[in-house]
């Protein structure tokens, strides 16, 4: 075992976000004064992150250089690293993160309106979108009513430098409100050393258009080799679904500023604005509507219809910003302080029922009126937080410690509207603290969270790394509502949730290019805000849902082949469910759980002459403990096959993805027939990409890349989900978007 120099570790007390903000500012002030002539030059690397800003260190002309997904030889849990090169070659220019990570094993989900043209809820090993974390540059983000995500609202594909899909809770330093099912970790693009930029555009099916500019300052010698990146783009499309137009604008800025040889400050800001024309209930048409109008039926031009385009629209305004100070204080001690904020503002006007189950008529009109009822819906929140990480090299091993603090404020409401008259119910002008049928809810809520962690990476033998760790989660959720959701009465309540989350990992190097790993780790998920939609939330259980993950894996790499495989079992306990009682006896309690288990693998073979073959697959099983039946929404398998070509100016990929069958309703012994009724068959999708890069064009143009992408090449239009209604006639179906194409050009200068 190699000897490591000793150093001491002092953990700074962190009680709230302001402490972290003050720390970051004070470190920045000190850094400018501490650079001395002759000081050791230290390369700054991110502290305790899974991958470096979307980059994967690899050698050219190897399988690792072209692999769509792969794991690291130092992995401690199943993972899929996805590079920027794959994104640019094989993913739709209009896409966001859901389309990027869909290539990975055990991941599924796609947009019904076309690639990147509507929100997509992915599943990971059968876990739903609110049961795993999504991070951006190490910052967990998501909704505040539950930790779900809006895929089109924050980061377009053009600003994502890469992704790491981690299938498991990870180490103690993995942060978020849902370490339950794993993490989708997104990273911003790395800066270029040379100045330049690009102008890019795409157009294609459904009048889809994308135009943008990306600028790189290169390393600015007069500012300690600082770099500046700017991306500005505009997307618009009519979409596959009738009447579902989307318009999106994004501006993203990233600055890396070395303050000295030991300290680097990074600033990031992304502002996004989206307008949709779509119903608030976007779960698809009924079978009767499909028979009459087609699989893409959604909205129409009839002002007497619930589905009128003028009655269904959404505007979303989001922003995401952070400051990060990375410091290397000595050869044995480094730290990272990061403060951030992000916001989400959803303003929706929508009719109440796109299925035809409800007859026209509103409370506001006279008896027998045919006005169209609707809602005015708001979901608006601001999140602020900070993350502080330290890393200390001791004789015995590497000690990592830190803390995450975060707070959020949310303002949500939903009011009845008479869409035909364009007014709210005239009998009600403001919410009042009494039951009122015109105010569905007017609610404010808060979350405060504190999660300290510590982990120790120990190397007892050469090539053997053992890492135990521990994280404590302390979360308080509160509601202050004039009219609370569901109960429609005033509500003021608060609940505190805590969880102790130990983990242990092992990585064993088995020789050149071969390693094995094992993990035992605890995960958890914060209870949903809906647990406050009862008369007395203090009667709820204070124990959050938890999971225990057991995972084994092996990773192999050579110049011609990169591969890995893993086995997993996840025991999900403390399932948070309603006790089924009404009135003051209603409560959410921990009952039962589920078991998730399976096998996964991925491999890329570099055949030669620029040709590579790719394959991945998973067999997944998610069963409820009480019934032994498959959990709704959990596919039983995934698989992918691909061929890739890169030689000179030419590039191409052909990738096939299969998502296995799933059940769309949980098993109910009182109605067992419904379980099989809502089973959907496996779906498949094939994407084709062809590109050619011209060089030596002059006029300051370094290169011009032309690219053709064809999505769903085989034109499959199978059912991807079913939303059961009270009456089967009004069940809603979502289908695959049919074959589409996008032609793109990117001029580099």
Integer angstrom CA distances of residue 732 from 295, 355, 356, 419, 735: 11, 8, 11, 23, 10
Please give the Cα distance from 454 to 690 (Å, whole number).
47
Beta bridge partners of 166: 79, 183
Which residue in 608, 517, 599, 514 sits closest to 563, CA to CA?
A: 514
Query: CB–CB of 154/320 below 8 Å?
Result: yes
Q: Are strands 491-511 and 139-140 parallel, antiparallel or unpaired?
A: unpaired
Residue 642 is predicted with a pLDDT of: 97
Query: CB–CB of 515/74 below 8 Å?
Result: yes
Q: Summarize pLDDT for 246-294 with one digit per residue, the tens.
A: 999 999 999 999 999 999 999 999 999 999 999 999 999 999 999 999 9
Query: CB–CB of 122/103 below 8 Å?
Result: no
The domain over range 41-748 is classified in CATH as 1.10.520.20: no
Query: CB–CB of 278/241 below 8 Å?
Result: yes
pLDDT along the chain (749 residues), means of 10: 35 35 38 36 33 50 93 95 93 93 95 94 93 95 93 94 94 90 94 95 98 97 96 97 97 97 97 96 96 97 96 96 97 97 97 94 84 94 98 95 98 92 61 60 95 96 96 95 88 93 96 95 90 87 88 96 97 81 80 91 96 98 92 96 96 97 91 91 97 91 96 97 94 97 96
Residue 436 is predicted with a pLDDT of: 54
What is the pTM for the complete model shown?
A: 0.90
Please give the Cα distance from 83 to 69 (Å, whole number).
8
Query: CB–CB of 652/691 below 8 Å?
Result: yes
Q: Is 63 exposed, middle or buried (0-12, 13-18, 19+ CB in 10 A)?
A: buried
Q: How many CB atoms lie within 10 A of CB 38?
A: 5
* DSSP state, residue 97: H
Beta bridge partners of 282: none
Please give the Cα distance from 4 to 640 (Å, whole number).
44
Q: Is 185 exposed, middle or buried (0-12, 13-18, 19+ CB in 10 A)?
A: buried
Query: CB–CB of 645/651 below 8 Å?
Result: yes
Q: Summarize pLDDT for 135-161 with one digit per residue, the tens.
A: 999 999 999 998 999 999 999 999 999
Integer angstrom CA distances of residue 579 from 388, 484, 583, 704: 39, 20, 12, 62
Q: How many helices (H) and strands (E) in the chain?
A: 6, 36
Give Cα 308 to chain centroid, integer Å: 31
Q: Given the structure tokens 């180490």, which residue do they identify?
A: 171
- Dihedral (CA of 364, 367, 369, 374) sign: positive
Please give the Cα distance from 493 to 71 (Å, whole number).
45
Residue 17 is predicted with a pLDDT of: 38
3-state helix, strand, coil in the chain (%, to 5): 10, 50, 40
Q: What does 534-561 look like in DSSP terms, one character per residue?
A: SS-GGGS--PPEEEEEEEEEEEEE-SSE
The tokens of 99 are what?
């389309």
Please give the Cα distance from 432 to 410 (Å, whole number).
19
- Reported as half-sphere exposure (CB side, CA atoms, 13 A), residue 311 has a value of 29
Please give the Cα distance from 162 to 101 (Å, whole number).
10
Q: Is 564 exposed, middle or buried (0-12, 13-18, 19+ CB in 10 A)?
A: buried
Q: Given the structure tokens 């970790």, which residue do they identify?
A: 185
Please give the Cα distance from 471 to 402 (Å, whole number).
10
Please give the Cα distance from 119 to 638 (Å, whole number).
21
> What are the backbone angles phi and psi of residue 345, rounded to the nearest 5°?
-135, 105
SS3 string, 652-687, reads EEEEEEEECCEECCCCCCCCCHHHHHCEECCEEEEE
Strand residues in 484-610 grouped as ranges (E): 491-511, 514-525, 545-557, 561-573, 576-578, 588-590, 594-608
Residue 642: partners with Cβ closer than 8 Å, 6 or more residues away: 68, 613, 614, 615, 653, 654, 655, 656
Beta bridge partners of 604: 562, 614
Query: CB–CB of 439/430 below 8 Å?
Result: no
Strand residues in 59-194 grouped as ranges (E): 79-83, 107-108, 123-124, 133-136, 139-140, 160-166, 183-188
Query: CB–CB of 640/658 below 8 Å?
Result: yes
Please give the Cα distance from 120 to 412 (Å, whole number).
22
Integer angstrom CA distances of residue 572 from 123, 134, 171: 16, 20, 18
């Amino acid at each position: 075992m190699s000897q490591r120099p000793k150093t001491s570790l002092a953990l700074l007390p962190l009680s709230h976000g302001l402490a972290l903000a003050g720390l970051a500012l004070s470190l920045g002030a000190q850094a400018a004064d501490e650079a001395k002539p002759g000081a050791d030059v230290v390369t700054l690397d991110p502290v305790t992150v899974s991958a470096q800003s979307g980059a994967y260190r690899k050698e050219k002309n190897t399988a690792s250089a072209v692999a769509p997904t792969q794991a690291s030889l130092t992995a401690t849990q199943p993972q899929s690293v996805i590079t920027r090169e794959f994104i640019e070659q094989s993913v739709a220019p209009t896409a966001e993160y859901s389309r990027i990570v869909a290539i990975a094993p055990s991941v599924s989900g796609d947009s019904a309106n076309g690639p990147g043209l509507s929100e997509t809820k992915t599943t990971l090993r059968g876990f739903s979108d609110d049961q795993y974390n999504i991070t951006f540059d190490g910052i967990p983000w998501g909704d505040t009513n539950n930790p779900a995500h809006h895929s089109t609202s924050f980061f377009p594909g053009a600003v994502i430098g890469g992704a790491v899909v981690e299938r498991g809770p990870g180490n103690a330093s993995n942060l978020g409100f849902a370490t339950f099912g794993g993490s989708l970790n997104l990273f911003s693009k790395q800066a270029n050393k040379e100045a330049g930029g690009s102008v890019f555009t795409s157009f294609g099916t459904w009048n889809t258009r994308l135009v943008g500019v990306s600028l790189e300052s290169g390393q600015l010698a007069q500012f300690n080799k600082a770099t500046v990146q700017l991306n500005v783009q505009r997307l618009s499309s009519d979409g596959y679904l009738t009447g579902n137009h989307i318009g999106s604008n994004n501006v993203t800025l990233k600055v890396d500023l070395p303050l000295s040889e030991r300290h680097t400050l990074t600033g990031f800001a992304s502002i996004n604005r989206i307008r949709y024309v779509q119903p608030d209930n976007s779960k698809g048409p009924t079978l009767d509507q499909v028979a009459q109008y087609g699989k893409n039926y959604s909205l129409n031009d009839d002002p007497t219809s619930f589905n009128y385009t003028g009655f269904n629209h959404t505007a979303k305004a989001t922003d995401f910003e952070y400051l990060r100070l990375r410091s290397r204080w000595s050869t044995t001690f480094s730290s990272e302080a990061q403060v951030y904020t992000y916001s989400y503002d959803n303003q929706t006007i929508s009719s109440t029922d796109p299925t035809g189950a409800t007859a026209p008529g509103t409370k506001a009109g006279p008896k027998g009126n045919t006005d169209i009822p609707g809602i005015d819906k708001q979901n608006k929140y601001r999140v602020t937080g900070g993350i502080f990480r330290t890393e200390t090299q001791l004789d015995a091993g590497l000690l990592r410690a830190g803390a995450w603090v975060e707070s959020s404020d949310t303002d949500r409401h939903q009011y009845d509207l008479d869409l035909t008259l364009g007014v709210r119910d005239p009998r009600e002008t403001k919410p009042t603290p009494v039951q009122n049928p015109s105010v569905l809810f007017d609610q404010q809520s808060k979350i405060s969270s504190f999660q300290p962690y510590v982990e120790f990476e120990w190397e007892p033998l050469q090539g053997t790394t053992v890492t135990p760790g521990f994280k404590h989660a302390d979360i308080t959720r509160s509601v202050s509502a004039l009219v609370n959701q569901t109960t429609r009465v005033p509500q003021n309540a608060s609940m505190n949730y805590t969880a102790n989350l130990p983990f242990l990992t092992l990585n064993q190097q088995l020789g050149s290019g071969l390693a094995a790993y094992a993990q035992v780790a605890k995960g958890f998920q914060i209870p949903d805000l809906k647990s406050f939609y009862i008369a007395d939330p203090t009667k709820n259980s204070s124990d959050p849902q938890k999971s225990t993950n057991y995972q084994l894996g092996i990773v192999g790499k050579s110049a011609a082949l990169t591969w890995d495989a893993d086995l997993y079992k996840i025991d999900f306990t403390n399932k948070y469910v309603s006790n089924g009682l009404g009135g003051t006896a209603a409560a959410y309690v921990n009952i039962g759980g589920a078991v998730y288990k399976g096998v996964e693998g991925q491999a890329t073979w570099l055949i030669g002459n620029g040709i590579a073959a790719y394959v991945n697959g998973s067999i997944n099983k998610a069963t409820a403990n009480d019934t032994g039946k498959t959990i709704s929404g959990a596919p039983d398998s995934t698989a992918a096959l691909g061929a890739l070509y890169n030689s000179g100016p030419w590039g191409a990929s052909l990738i096939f993805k299969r998502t296995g069958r799933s059940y769309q309703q949980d098993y109910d012994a009182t109605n067992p027939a419904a379980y099989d009724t809502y089973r959907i068959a496996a779906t498949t999708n094939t994407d084709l990409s062809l590109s050619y890069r011209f060089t030596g064009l002059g006029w300051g143009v370094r290169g011009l890349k032309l690219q053709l992408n064809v999505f769903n090449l085989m034109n499959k239009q199978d059912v991807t989900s079913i939303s059961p209604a009270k009456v089967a006639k009004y069940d809603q179906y979502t289908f695959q978007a049919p074959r589409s194409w996008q032609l793109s050009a990117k001029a580099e200068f």
